Amino acid sequence: MRKNKDYLNDQSELKTKIGNLEAENEKLRMQLRDRTMLEERYERLENTNKQLNEQLEEKNNEISEYENQIQSIPNLEAELHEIRQQKNEKENECDEYRNQIDALQCELRYLSEPADVISELQAELIQLKMENKDYREKQSIHACTTCMDQPRNVLFMPCLHFTCCSSCAYKTEQCSICRMRIMGKVEVYQ
């Protein structure tokens, strides 16, 4: 019985130890979870801190750039003054060139009057050459194809070709176009 009692006591102690260990295990799990959450929060804060430091560095660079620009304002004002002077000089040059252009245009008008007459005569000459060419072409259409001097005035029979003048037609026995034997010749008056 004593053994039984010792066994029960041991068992009771073991149950108590197991309960204590389970409670301690649960406590450690909670601590581990809390620690994990703290580590994640710490990591997020580190990232945020890193981003803020980068932004701070960018802003410091911008401030430095603005300070450089502020320091260069006197130089820019001097440049602006020089540019304005150059602009005024260029405007004066433009005025001089305008005056020269006006003078040259007056001179050109004076000199172009004979040129206008010449260009009119040249245009008229071109027109006359074209009319002469047209006249010659029309003449060649009506000229005898044999002698090219006299106008056509004979119609060959039976082919009815109209190609020769009367003096050339009486010397010809075949039509110069179709090579047919000429059976008759009719003189046509235009």
Cβ–Cβ under 8 Å, residues 184 and 157: yes
Total-model pTM? 0.31
Confidence of residue 140 (pLDDT cuts 50, 70, 90): low
Residue 14, both tokens:
């073991």
Note whether residue 111 is domain-resident: no
Instruction: Report the pLDDT value the prediction gives residue 34, as an integer from 0 to 100.
Output: 87
Instruction: Report the pLDDT value the prediction gives residue 67, as an integer from 0 to 100.
Output: 84
Within 8 A by CB and 6+ apart from 163, the residues are 144, 145, 146, 152, 156, 175, 176, 177
Q: Does the pLDDT at position 98 exceed 80?
A: yes
Within 8 A by CB and 6+ apart from 185, the residues are 154, 155, 156, 157, 169, 170
Q: Is the pLDDT higher at 101 or at 159?
A: 159
Note whether residue 122 is domain-resident: no
Instruction: Report the pLDDT value the prediction gives residue 129, as an integer from 0 to 100.
Output: 87
Q: Is the pLDDT higher at 59 or at 133?
A: 59
Note whether residue 132 is domain-resident: no
Q: Which of 3-17, 52-66, 71-85 has the lowest mean pLDDT?
A: 3-17
Task: Please give the tally of structural domains in the chain.
Answer: 1
Instruction: Report the pLDDT value the prediction gives residue 87, as an integer from 0 to 100.
Output: 87
Residue 177 maps to which CATH number? 3.30.40.10
Note whether residue 4 is domain-resident: no
Residue indicated by tokens 């820019």: 76
Cβ–Cβ under 8 Å, residues 161 and 188: no
For residues 161 and 149, give the distance between their C-alpha atoms in angstroms, rounded to a whole number.
18
Note whether residue 175 is domain-resident: yes
Helix (H) or strand (E) holding 49: helix 2-142
Note whether residue 94 is domain-resident: no
Instruction: Report the pLDDT value the prediction gives residue 158, as an integer from 0 to 100.
Output: 94
Instruction: Report the pLDDT value the prediction gives residue 154, as an integer from 0 to 100.
Output: 93
Q: Does the pLDDT at position 82 exceed 70?
A: yes
Domain membership of residue 177 as a residue range: 143-190
Note whether residue 73 is domain-resident: no
Note whether residue 180 is domain-resident: yes
